Amino acid sequence: MAKKDIDWSNLGFDYLKTDYRYVSNFKDGAWDEGEIVTDNNITMSECACVLQYAQTCFEGLKAYTTEDGRIVCFRPDLNAERMAMTAKRLEMPVFDEKRFVDAVVEVVKANEAWVPPFGSGATLYIRPYMFGINSVIGVKPASEYQFRIFTTPVGPYFKGGAKPIVITVSDFDRAAPHGTGNIKAGLNYAMSLHPIMEAHRNGFAENMYLDAATRTKVEETGGANFIFVTKDGTIVTPKSDSILPSITRRSLMTVAEDILGMKVEHREVYFDEVKDFAECGLCGTAAVISPVGKIVHGDQEIAFPSGMEEMGPTIKKLYDTLTGIQMGKIEGPEGWVKTIM
């Protein structure tokens, strides 16, 4: 199939309408069979639960073209599993996990012409999401839902691609203990819009959030988990019940330990320790691994020895191995890469 005429290498992380999307509706206690449609608009009641009470959640994964011309995606079963967990916490019906993966396959196949070519630096971002669609005025969950998946070709999440970014420690909290920080609810992102705009107005690319209870421990950013490297090469990732269990972070821990033979620690990380790390990166589907060169907290500045010009050597090794697996150049653990076509 002929690819779309797009300058793939210069894409940012923006929405571009592709030809097809997947839709399934939940009504009278059951999901319908679902279908691929062309219309990217949604019509709903002014009183839809999603509009009034933000009953919405989403996922994010990517499709890649491999060197040998296949189209693959990375661990979609884990996105399905996480969306099920999110749905339960938000009193939404679970969209069957196998059907989720089948729908991802179907919508990517339909949009084959939009999947960026191998080596272009771009990928097809896949956005599954679900929301309460019927009218609800008392505070209660909807009884009707829509599950949809759209796709959009994307480049790097942060301008400058693999160049290290400067981030700041937010004065705002992202997630409360026992709150919703560990699920992918739209509300977690709504609350981050003001802090991220403040960060941008102050010249920073992202926010580091600290734990809300003590403000002494590193949590995550608005859209990625942290990964640190100690001076002796150990990988350290923050553990907390109020951060999103990143699929990229979990995969990187396996890559580091089982493939690269590195030491990995998943534990609470105090902000006071951060100045002693050698490298820092943000990891996630959109962020891949984006290196952090500097963290500013009030008048304290932490500049990592890896500098502002390029990724540190350990993060580069992790990046090359993970993206090598995702693009089919390196054999990963069984079941990680799903061939779509």
Nearer to ligand PLP, 127 or 294 (CB): 127
Catalytic, 184? Answer yes
**Shortest approach of ligand COI to residue 285 CB, angstroms?**
4
Q: Which does 246 bind (CB under 5 to 8 A by kind): ligand PLP, ligand COI, none?
A: ligand PLP
267 phi/psi in degrees, rounded to 5 = -155, 170
Out of ligand COI, ligand PLP, none, what residue 165 binds, judged by CB under 5 to 8 A for its kind, is: none
> DSSP states of 148-190 as a string?
EEEEEEE--SSTTTTS-EEEEE-SS-S--TTSSTTS-BHHHHH
What is the DSSP secondary-structure string of 37-87?
A: ES-------TTBHHHHH--EEE--EEEEE-TTS-EEEE-HHHHHHHHHHHH
Minimum distance from CB of 232 to ligand COI (Å)? Answer: 30
As to burial, measured by CB atoms within 10 angstroms (0-12 exposed, 13-18 middle, 19+ buried), residue 297 is middle
Nearest residue to ligand COI, using CB? 60
Residue 108 touches which of ligand COI, ligand PLP, none (CB < 5 to 8 A by kind)? none
Q: How far apart are the first and last CA of the chain?
A: 12
Q: Which residues bind ligand PLP (CB under 6 A)?
A: 60, 220, 223-225, 244, 246-249, 284-285
Considering beta carbons, is residue 92 or 287 the nearer one to ligand COI? 287
Backbone φ, ψ for residue 272 (5° rounding): -60, -25
Among ligand PLP, ligand COI, none, partner that 247 touches (CB below 5 to 8 angstroms by kind): ligand PLP
CB of 186 to ligand COI, least distance (A): 10
For ligand COI, give the closer residue by CB, 18 or 302.
18
Nearer to ligand PLP, 65 or 248 (CB): 248
Match 């679900």 to its residue by tokens: 130
Name the active-site residue from 62, 184, 317, 338. Answer: 184
Length of the chain counted residue by residue: 341
Nearest CB to ligand PLP, comparing residues 207 and 306: 207
**Shortest Cβ distance from residue 249 to ligand PLP (Å)?**
6
CB of 79 to ligand COI, least distance (A): 9
Q: Which is nearer to ligand PLP, 142 or 174 (CB)?
A: 174
User: Which amino acid makes up residue 267?
Assistant: R
76-89 helix and 247-254 helix, angle to the nearest 10 degrees = 140
How far apart (Å, rounded) are the C-alpha atoms in residues 106 and 13? 23
CB distance 338 to 72 below 8 Å: yes
| Rounded-to-integer distance, Cα 333 and Cα 77, Å | 14
> Which residues would be at the binding site for ligand COI (CB under 6 A)?
60, 223, 284-286
Smallest gap from residue 272 Cβ to ligand COI (A): 28
What residue 225 binds from ligand PLP, ligand COI, none (CB within 5 to 8 A, per partner kind)?
Answer: ligand PLP
By beta carbon distance, the residue nearest ligand PLP is 284
Binding partner of 262, given ligand COI, ligand PLP, none, CB within 5-8 angstroms per partner class? none
Using CB atoms within 10 A of its CB, is residue 68 exposed (0-12), middle (13-18) or buried (19+)?
exposed
* Identity of residue 151: T
Mind telling me the catalytic residues? 184
